[in-house]
Amino acid sequence: MEIALLGGTGDIGQGLALRCARDTDHSVVIGSRDADKAEQKANEYYSSLKETGVTPGIAGYSNETAADSAEVVVVSVPPEYASQTVETVAPVLGEDDVLVSPAVQMSRDASGFHYDPPETGSVAEAIDRAAPDDVPVVSAFQNLAAGALSGLENDLKADVVVTGDDSEAKQTVMALAEDIDGLRALDGGPLANTGVVESVTPLLINLAMNNDGMHDIGVRFE
């Protein structure tokens, strides 16, 4: 399976790209509005993975080209650009593709980070509204620390809550999450539940900011 990470040059995109390329048999495509930047980042990720003894299948293209060739398309761009990015790649998406939303919309003030959802209720639901009607949207990976993902020396032990309305698409993303060493996928129900999942992320960031040794904090449900 081919996985496209639109905005794969950013923090969460980098972490997911490195982990998917190292831990799974899937090929990884980095997408960006700037194809040259995507290619440069893909080469950097390739070099980093080679140093760990892995020869990954990883390449970089424009967002549209990346989405066109992939079965799973992760919209790992900042939340304010998520809907626009989906609208841009919509012409190359088909009913057999799955869109994945890992983004969380937050605000920050002197007291810390706060959940600031869009009018649709969650970033995933905003992506669903922008996506073609026949392309399922699944929400996942919001509660993972980007630093923990991209630091390949870190042993992950975290849960990924996955929400979506298409059961087959949700199972595809859950299987992908569990292909990554140290992650366990949990079914969080329909896409309408995504806001609850997204709202945990600012709490985790605030805990990381205010407690020593919790920089790469994640969630594990026992």
> What domains are there in the chain, each with its CATH number?
2-210 (3.40.50.720)
The predicted model scores a pTM of 0.94
> Do the Cβ atoms of 68 and 92 come closer than 8 Å?
yes
pLDDT of residue 144: 93
**pLDDT tens digit sequence for 158-211:** 999 999 999 999 999 999 999 999 999 999 999 999 999 999 999 999 999 999
pLDDT of residue 211: 95
Q: Quick one: average pLDDT of 21-40?
A: 92
Short-list 65, 70, 67, 75, CA closest to 26: 70
